[in-house]
Amino acid sequence: MLSRLLKEHQAKQNERKERVGFLFASFLFEFPRSTLNGAAAYVNQRKLDHEVKTLQVQAGQFAKQTAQWISMVEGFNQALKEIGDVENWARSIEMDMRTIATALEYVHKGHLQAASS
């Protein structure tokens, strides 16, 4: 799920970069210098500025989302560690209980043998 979201974001980001590049290329190559006046330059500059601001906002959103993903993954890793800790604790308790049960059986057998003699 995270990789799919990342790929979608990267695809959108690449598309926007291509649009900005296309606008810039159009600005530089499609308009002959003789016909390029101040108004056309202003319009093109405004388009480029808008695209840059859009990319900056999206980069900020992506950074926030990435931080959330990292936080989620770290939480998941911590939960896995805790599960491992509980499993080890349970094994330790089980071994202690078996030792106690064996000791009680030994004591019980000793009392039975002493009572029968």
Report pLDDT digits (tens) over 40-95: 778 888 999 999 999 999 999 999 999 999 999 999 888 888 888 888 888 999 99
The mean pLDDT value of the chain amounts to 82
Distance between CA atoms of residues 108 and 106, nearest Å: 5
Q: What percent of the chain has pLDDT over 70?
A: 79
Mean pLDDT of 1-21: 77
Among the listed residues 79, 54, 68, 56, the one whose alpha carbon sits nearest the alpha carbon of residue 1: 68
The pTM assigned to this predicted structure is 0.45
Distance between CA atoms of residues 21 and 28, nearest Å: 10
pLDDT for 83 equals: 83
pLDDT for 70 equals: 93
Contacts of 47 (CB under 8 A, 6+ apart): 23
